[in-house]
Amino acid sequence: MNSHHLLLPQLDKQEQKEFEILARYLIPLGWKGNLSYAGFAELLRSYTSLKIDNNYAEKRLKKFQKSNLIEIKRNSTPPTNGERGKRLASTIILKSFAYQGTLPTGIVPLDSILYIKRDADEKCQRELTLARDVNQSVPFIRVKAAKGMGKSSLLDRISHFLEKEKKEIVARIDLATDAFGDDTLNDSEKLFRRFTEEVFNNE
């Protein structure tokens, strides 16, 4: 794992490293996720050869919370027959993460902690899921934004979502080729026809 410079004077070097591991886990999930002490201990063990138990993980998470870096929300099942509900994994919310390093250019890797999940991500996934749930064709989604706003990174994540989670076959069509000239891009009917031809050619 690459080492990043973290501006966390309230943590020592080892604690900063472990907080970065937690941040790397939470950021792709939208800065929050369900994680038990045992789960965090297992996460830390995957990055080190040290023996880390649940008590160690609990102390670390409480230290991060005391430092106002995370918020821990405890979860449990509803009480039944007068008995207390069963405790579930807590929801860990990442509140602060200071990063100093080289910013990425081009497509942000899928596992990068620097990619910020936006409303567009959830909207695209929701529309694609709903269409399949009611046995409709996959919708045509047009992403419009200025250069450098993350369009390619978003499309990469949509492709990954369809391939890995929905088990769909995904074809990638490059609209910058000669097959898509200005006359095609400016004519919706020509665009859809040409796009369909390219999809069939790439199957």
Domain membership flag for residue 131? yes
Note down the domain range covering 50: 13-94
pLDDT value, residue 4:
44
Cα 54 to Cα 16, 25, 40, 130, distances in angstroms: 19, 18, 8, 40
82 and 124 fall within a common domain: no
38 and 73 fall within a common domain: yes
Quick count: other Cβ atoms within 10 Å of Cβ 110? 13
Domain membership flag for residue 106? no
123 and 83 fall within a common domain: no
CATH number at residue 66: 1.10.10
Those residues whose C-beta lies under 8 Å from the C-beta of residue 75, and which sit 6 or more positions away, are 34, 87, 88, 89, 90, 91
Residue-wise pLDDT for 54-99, tens only, equals 999 999 999 999 999 999 999 887 777 666 667 788 999 999 887 7
Residues of the chain with pLDDT under 50: 1-6
On whether the CB atoms of residues 121 and 27 are closer than 8 A, the answer is no
58 and 132 fall within a common domain: no
140 and 184 fall within a common domain: yes
Show the tokens assigned to 73: 């929300």
Helix (H) or strand (E) holding 91: strand 87-94
CA–CA dist 171, 52 (Å, integer): 44
CA–CA dist 201, 48 (Å, integer): 47
Q: Which of 28, 59, 94 is the last residue of a domain?
A: 94
Strand boundaries in 21-86, DSSP class E: 32-35, 70-76
Domain membership flag for residue 104? no
pLDDT value, residue 45:
95
Domain membership flag for residue 111? no
- The pTM of the full predicted model, rounded to 2 decimals, is 0.56
Structural domains in the chain (count): 2
